Structure formats: C-alpha cells, structure tokens
C-alpha cells in the first residue's frame, strides 16, 4: 500500500512538472517583437527621443525610442496591435501591425472608418511625424476687416453709401423716372391735408422759441412817450 501511494505521488508530481514545462515552452514560442523607426525631419533625434516612447494598444506593451530613432517592443504575442509613438512635442501617425501565430508580420495603415480597407506598409514600420501638438488656442488678432464688418459700422455706412450713390445711379432727367418718383412721394403722403412727417419731427425736436426778447421789446414800446 505504501509503495502504491508513493507511486501515485511521484506520477502526480511528474505530470504537473511536464504540464508546467509545456506551458512555458508554448508561451515562449508565442512571443514576438515589433521593430520600427520614428522619423522627425529637420530635428535632431537627441532633442526628442529621450521623452518619447512606444505604446501598443494603449499601455499594454511599452517600448522606448533609441537615440537614432529606432525602437523594439519585445514579448508581444500574436494578434493585431495599433502602434503609437507618444511624444509631448511631436505627433506621429499610428500604424497597425498584424502578427500571425507563425510569426509573420504585416504593417498597414490605421483606418477606423473602414477597418476592412487594407493599405499595406513596409516592415519594419516607419512612423513619420505629422506635426507638433498645439496645447493652446491661438489668440485672435485685430484686423481692419473686423472693423468694417462690425454691425454698428455697417448700419452707419450703408445708408450713407446709398444716399451718395443712388442719385448717381438714377437718371433724374428721365421723365418716366421722375413720374415714378412723384408717384412714390404721393403714396407716402396721400392726403395733402395731413401734415408731413418730416415737418412734425422738425417741430418736435426744434428748441422752444425764447419769449424774453419779445417782452423786452413790448416794454420799450410801452415806456416810450406818447404823441399827442
């Protein structure tokens, strides 16, 4: 009985060891690495590479950029990943990398609108800079067009232009045009007995007449000697 129990324990330990080894071998066989290079034209790589790093699908796998711009992300299992180069200064176009179970690499352009559309890119991937990050909105500057497009200025200038240009555009010597103008004026003032609006406004806003002078004149006239 004791020997049978020992045999079972030994077999169990051996099976567990074999399973663990097989899993380790399988996991080690599924790991790959992604290689590429980040390019910023017109800027030395020493100026931006220390602050840049490579991200796969967010922060699932992280790699660092070397001083020459190249990078390598190790221990990546098979699958499809979106590679980003994160930099606080420069912006890079992301690239999707597909890794098969056999270790075959394929790089293609990222298209979130049409994922089925495949535009293949060379591998190792070349990630080019598309510009700089803008963290602040540019302040608007004052220009002359802002002054002329102001609604208040338009309300003041347009009527003045109409008053100055309309007589030059209309031929007042034309009898037909003159007749139309007279008819339009008659429409505005249909009854001659009614007061004109312009006259009413003039009387309303005109200053009141002073009566002091009239009173003084009357006093002088009254104080003079009467003729017999």
- Check residues 189 and 173 and name the one with the higher pLDDT: 173
Do the domain assignments include residue 190? no
Is there a contact between 53 and 92 (Cβ–Cβ < 8 Å)? no
Question: What is the per-residue burial (b if ≥16 Cβ within 10 Å, else e) of 121-153?
Answer: bebebebebeeeeeeeeeeeeeeeeeeeeeeee
Token pair of 64 as six digits: 């660092």
For residue 57, the domain's CATH number is 2.60.40
Q: In which domain, by residue range, is 104 found?
A: 32-132
Do the domain assignments include residue 117? yes
Is there a contact between 119 and 111 (Cβ–Cβ < 8 Å)? yes
- 49-103 confidence digits (pLDDT tens): 999 999 988 778 888 999 999 999 988 888 889 999 999 999 999 999 998 888 8
Q: How far is CA 75 from CA 2, 53, 190, in A?
A: 46, 16, 95
Do the domain assignments include residue 194? no
| Tally of structural domains, the chain | 1
- 201-225 confidence digits (pLDDT tens): 566 655 666 555 444 444 445 445 5
Radius of gyration of the chain from its Cα atoms, rounded to whole angstroms: 46
Do the domain assignments include residue 7? no
- Check residues 3 and 84 and name the one with the higher pLDDT: 84
Instruction: Tell me how far apart the terminal alpha carbons of the chain are, to the nearest angstrom.
Output: 174
Do the domain assignments include residue 182? no
Do the domain assignments include residue 124? yes
Is there a contact between 147 and 106 (Cβ–Cβ < 8 Å)? no
């Amino acid at each position: 009985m004791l020997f049978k129990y020992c045999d079972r324990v030994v077999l169990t330990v051996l099976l567990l060891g074999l399973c663990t080894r097989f899993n380790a071998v399988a996991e080690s066989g599924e790991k790959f690495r992604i290689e590429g290079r980040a390019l910023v034209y017109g800027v030395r790589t020493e100026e931006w590479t220390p602050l840049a790093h490579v991200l796969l699908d967010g922060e699932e796998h992280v790699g660092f950029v070397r001083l020459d711009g190249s990078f390598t992300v190790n221990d990546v299992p098979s699958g499809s990943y979106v590679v980003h180069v994160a930099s606080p200064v420069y912006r890079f176009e992301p690239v999707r990398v597909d890794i098969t179970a056999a270790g075959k690499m394929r790089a293609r352009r990222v298209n979130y609108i049409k994922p089925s559309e495949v535009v293949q890119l060379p591998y190792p991937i070349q990630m080019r800079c598309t510009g700089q990050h803008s963290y602040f909105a540019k302040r608007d500057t004052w220009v002359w067009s802002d002054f002329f497009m102001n609604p208040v200025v338009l309300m003041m200038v347009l009527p003045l232009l109409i008053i100055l240009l309309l007589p030059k555009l209309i031929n007042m010597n034309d009898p037909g045009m003159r007749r139309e103008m007279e008819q339009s004026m008659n429409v505005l003032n249909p009854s001659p007995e009614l007061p004109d609006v312009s006259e009413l406004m003039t009387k309303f806003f005109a200053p009141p007449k002073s009566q002091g002078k009239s009173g003084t004149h009357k006093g002088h006239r009254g104080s003079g000697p009467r003729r017999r």
